[in-house]
Structure formats: C-alpha cells, structure tokens
Amino acid sequence: MNLLPPAGHLPALLDQSPDALRAWFADRGQPSLRVKQVRRWVLAGRAESFEQMSDLPRDVRAELARHFAPLGTRVERHLVATDETHKLLLRLQDERLIECVLIQEPPRRTACISTQVGCGMGCVFCASGLNGVVRNLTTGEILEQLVRLRNLTPAPDGRLSNIVVMGMGEPLANLDNLLEALDVAGHKDGLGIGARHITISTVGLPAKIRRLADLGKQYHLAVSLHAPNDLLRTRIVPTNDKTGVPEILAAADYFFEKTGRQVTYEYVLLGGLNDGPREARELATLLQGRKAHVNLIPFNDVEGLPYVRPTPEAQATFTDTLRRAGLSVKVRKRKGSEIDAACGQLRRKVEQELAPATV
C-alpha cells in the first residue's frame, strides 16, 4: 500500500499501511496508538472527516487533514429502491467509477462490493465487462466501499452482517488486495465481519481457487458456472477456453476438501440459450455427488445486449429438474431492479450520460 494518489489529491488514509502510518506519526513525535485511533474512527466510528475524531489532539487532526484524505472516494450517485436496496456509484481519485450495493433483508445487511474498475472476463451478459478492465482496486478502495455502505445503516449500532464480493471485476484477479481488505474488515477494530460471513465469487480461476483454499480461511466460494459444458460455457464466458469446466470443478472440489465449506454454483439463466431441459439435465449430472448449492439467477435486462430473461415456465422446469436430482437450489430474487442494481449497469449509464456528444 502507501500509494501515491493522482495529482491534486491527498493520499487516502485506508491506502496507508499501519506501519507507514506508525512511521508518519513517529516523525511527528506522536505515539503509535494514534494509528489504531485514527483507523478505528474511519472503520468503526463512522468518521468521514478528521475533525470528527474527538479523542485526537486538535493539532494532530489538523496535521492529518493536511496530509491525508479520510476517504478517497466520493459518492457520485446514491439510489434507493422500494425494497430498501441502496446502490452507490463511487468516483475514485483518478475519476474512474465503481459500484457497490447494500442489500437489506432483516436481520441481514449484506454489502456487495467491487474489486476492479471494469472486468476482463468478458461474460457476454454482464454490463461490467463491456469496456474491459481498467485496473485493480487498491485495498483502501475496497475497504471504502464497505465503510460507505456501513455508514448507510442506522447509527450508532447499525452494522453489516455479510459481504459478497460479486460486484464489478473478477475478485481472484485482484486477490492480494482483496485478502488484505477482508483481513481488515474481519478484525475487531475493523468491521467485525468473520470469514464465514464472506462470499467470494469467481468466474473460475483454478490456480487462484486452490490458493484461496490453502489459506485455511472459512470464506464461502461461489463459482460463476453459467453452463454445464465447455462448448456452451465458452460462448458465454470466453475465458473458459483457457481453463474448462472439468478443471474448474476439480479446483472447487479441492476448495471443499480443504475448507469443508459447501461451494455455490451461480448460473445466470439466459432465455433460449442455457435454460433448456437438456442443459438442466446435464448440469444435474455434473453436480450430483458434490457438496454443492446452485444459485439460479434469471437474467437482468441490460441495454444494448441481445439476451432475455427466461420464461417462467423454463425457469420452473430448470429448477425442478435440479431439485429432482437431489441438488440444493435457490432462485435469486430481483433486488433493486429499478435502480440498475445489477452489476455494472449504473456505471455504464452514467458514463454514457457524461460522454461528450459525437457530431
């Protein structure tokens, strides 16, 4: 960490490592406990300015304000759906945009966060990857999504209960920064969200899945499968041609063996493409005998893409086929549909609004 910000911006506090902050305070004759104080104010105390950090001396607060930004992101848009789903479009210090979502299903409050600006996986149904990947998010940028979503909950005791890493980007392509952020989020002086309440989604990077398994953490793994065979999956997820369904499933099996945690397989139902009885039977055969849960996701319409939601009949037949095979299945409810809560949609819309008109 300890990153240099773009010109004209102060470094974001959460992008400074504790060691770097400790050295910064020491240079100013301040005790090391200041590191814990200032980070706790941002992570647990809802402070969005140094002036709010009332247990710090006034001169220390002023010095911090001259050198750091308590939060490096700013809220570009904040939308609230009728079901109390919140979506934040955050502008980063380099003017890029990312999305994060707060899903409220009492007593759970789940933060859905991004790990990259854009995405390089190229899934054909997803708005996030339409313009490719720009860069990885820093540890601080990942943490700030959690902080800003937590700050939407009722003060003083409102908190996040769960994290799903299912926003923009491929989480395992930015694994180092993600793991560092999740370690901070799980700490008692952070957000206090344990690994068993955190789900990491992936399009299926076998080597990274195995690395995640070897950490010995109790994260939940969700594999974005979307098809039961390589021919169809490569049409939907182009990066599949570098891996393949058997290799991905073998890595997921390894994750289960090492962690004991059931693997979830995400499957976006695209009307007329992967939602037929044949695909359902093939998927059932593929996953039978595995400790697996299937999360079926009816496609959310994305402007400019040619795909459609499955019919209710196709969705019901697909679901019943899997259940008759003895698989655990859930159909995801639509949340926040009127606020473009599906991944990447709001960012794309705003970027199109702000783009210069062509003559």
Residues labelled catalytic: 99, 343
Residues in the chain: 359
The DSSP result for 195-246, as a single string, is: GGGEEEEES--HHHHHHHHHTT---EEEEE---SSHHHHHHHSGGGGGS-HH
Dihedral of CA 264/123/168/154: which sign? negative
Q: β-pairing, 86-91 with 97-105?
A: antiparallel
- Reference 321, options 228, 204, 256; nearest CA is 228
Three-state DSSP class for 110?
A: strand
In the chain, what is the straight-line distance between the N-terminal and C-terminal CA atoms, in Å? 43
Burial of 29 (0-12, 13-18, 19+ CB in 10 A): exposed
> CA–CA separation, 116 vs 138, rounded Å?
9
> CA–CA separation, 71 vs 54, rounded Å?
17
335 C-beta neighbours (distance < 10 Å), count = 19
Residue 70: left (phi > 0), alpha (psi -120 to 50), or beta? Answer: alpha
Q: β-pairing, 74-80 with 133-136?
A: unpaired
Q: Contact, 92 vs 146, CB < 8 A?
A: no
